[in-house]
Structure 1
Amino acid sequence: MSEAPHACHLVCGPAASGKTRHATLLAERLGAVLLDSDQVAERLVMAGLELAGLDPDDRDSPIYKSAYREPVYDTLFDLAAAHVGRLPVVIAGPFTAEAGNPAWPHELERRLGVKPVLHWVSCPPEVRRRRLEQRGEERDRPKLRDWKKYLSTCREEPPVWDHLGVTGG
């Protein structure tokens, strides 16, 4: 006899908005599996970029996005689908391009087998910049080097789909 699937929460928003903190607290509260895009495929992405002679810390260039963005997200969703029948799942990742697609929640529901609960974490750009500087990670250096250019690629407006709005703290 199979049991009903558990909840799947997606915690979305721009870099340094507070996604990881919110997702971690949510996962602890729910007793959920936490799948963070920064952790799930990080070593494979770095190895692949290095093997290709590219910057292993690049997460914003068109090359990275065309080669890795979809496979990383697909891996997150495959892992979530594998676990959501047994445990609640929390996925943390930017998903900023998807925030403009009104059909995305329905696509996720078909893929995951459950209706996802979508969270959008946001805070002002100057707060995000300060957080990026404070965390001092290599993958953030390109963002900080040309902040205005990076900021022009960020989605600041809320998603077009229903979501729980979270102020990143």
Structure 2
Amino acid sequence: MKTIHRPGWQPLVLRQHREAHGLTLEAAGDQLRQVASRHGLTAPAANFQTLWAHEQGSVYPGPHYRRAYCLLYQANEPTLGFRLPLPGEITQVENSISDLPQPTDPATDNAAAQVIEQTLHKVAGAPSNAEQNALLNRVVDAWRRRHGHGSPKPILTLVGGYAGSGKTEFSRFLSDITGWAFLDKDSLTRAMVERLLISLGGDPHDRHTELYLSEVRPLEYRCLMETAFDNLKVGTSAILSAPFIAELADPDWVCRLTNRCAARGIDVAVVWVRCDPESMREYIEFRGAPRDAWKLDNWQTYVSGLNTETSPSTAHITVDNRLGAAISLADQTRETLKRILT
């Protein structure tokens, strides 16, 4: 994978954290593999040569390595010297397990709900708005409902963003907390899309030509939305992970969706995951999906058509995942919740 320069990278800091935890390179690698496995990350090889290269600065750790390091050392990327902090980013991870009450009923549930609420406030930024507060309340309510009582009214949450922005990981995080159905567009439709493109004489990995955009993409999103409504009709809230680029750029589309849901007693929340082009490219290269080949081969052309500075006007909430900050915080919150509840 191509190494991408990160301003503020200080490899020495990673070694200092390992030594402060009393770990050899071999022991740190073993624990990294365990952390990755527990959190569903692509388990890194994490041999001592790789960790040594990270600490010496000859190899910049890839995204799954950085996530595993952050979980292992209970810190975030700026604290571990991987990058400079974003403006206003908290560099010391709060809500560590030592700061929370021991699991005793009923305080356990309250402690977990507090962690969730603080995390969502941080990733969504300030100032808050009515839509942001409404979704936050629903997420915390869903947590409480899983362990007690909450509102039975379903909610449809759209999580949009460009390729590699972190929208799928953030959607999984929300689903982990709430128990709402997690529907990813690619997982639901990729096999169908590839076969349909072949039958139309196209490239199965095409995601940019007029053939895909006009003949295939509308069917993709129709499948996604109808699957969501199958869940919503039986009272199961749903989180949809897809770019939603054209859809969220169209206020009429969002209005029609909102009205359709309101007629059925369903709430709607629209989340946009913001990310920087360098981080998106790093993740796209890391996942190595054939459907991304055109983007990588024509990166400057592709990026020139993106608006990474602002969110669609139809988005209720913007999650700031520049440099992976929001996903790192989500990882930490998952770990804290597991420690509270087990």
Regarding TM over 0.5, the answer is yes
State the distance in 2 between where 1:94 and 1:155 align. 13
My pick for the range that moved more, 32-41 or 104-113, is 104-113
1:55 to 203, 217, 226: 203
Q: Which has the larger radius of gyration?
A: 2
Partner of 2:268: 116
State the distance in 1 between where 2:154 and 2:230 align. 11
How many positions carry a matched residue from both structures? 167
State the distance in 1 between where 2:254 and 2:197 align. 31
State the distance in 2 between where 1:105 and 1:66 align. 20
State the distance in 1 between where 2:320 and 2:313 align. 17
Residue 58 and residue 161 in structure 1: after superposition, are their counterparts in 2 closer, same or farther (change >3 A)?
same
One-letter amino acid matched to 2:242 = G
Residues 108, 115 of structure 1: 8 Å contact kept: no
State the distance in 2 between where 1:26 and 1:142 align. 30
1:94 to 214, 239, 243: 243
1:144-159 aligned within 5 A: 144-156=296-308, 157-159=310-312
Deviation digits for residues 75-130 of structure 1 (CA, Å, limit 9, x no counterpart): 11111111113211000110112222223332112334423111000111111111
TM-score by length of 1: 0.91
Partner of 1:11: 159
Partner of 2:288: 136
Partner of 1:20: 168
Matched, 1:104 2:249: no
- Give percent identity, aligned residues only: 32
Segments of structure 1 that go 5 or more residues without pairing to the other structure are none
Report SS of the residue matched to 2:236: coil
How many angstroms does 1:162 deviate by? 4.2
One-letter amino acid matched to 1:165 = T
Residues 14, 155 of structure 1: 8 Å contact kept: no
State the distance in 1 between where 2:218 and 2:153 align. 25
Higher strand share: 1
Partner of 1:35: 183
How many angstroms does 1:59 deviate by? 1.3
Deviation digits for residues 51-82 of structure 1 (CA, Å, limit 9, x no counterpart): 22211111122211111111111111111111
Structure 1 vs Structure 2 CA RMSD: 1.7
Which structure exhibits the higher relative contact order, with contacts defined as CA atoms closer than 8 Å and separated by 6 or more residues? 1
One-letter amino acid matched to 1:50 = I
Segments of structure 2 that go 5 or more residues without pairing to the other structure are 1-150, 325-342
Report SS of the residue matched to 2:245: coil
How many angstroms does 1:152 deviate by? 2.5
TM-score by length of 2: 0.46
Residues 247, 254 of structure 2: 8 Å contact kept: no
Residue 130 and residue 13 in structure 1: after superposition, are their counterparts in 2 closer, same or farther (change >3 A)?
same
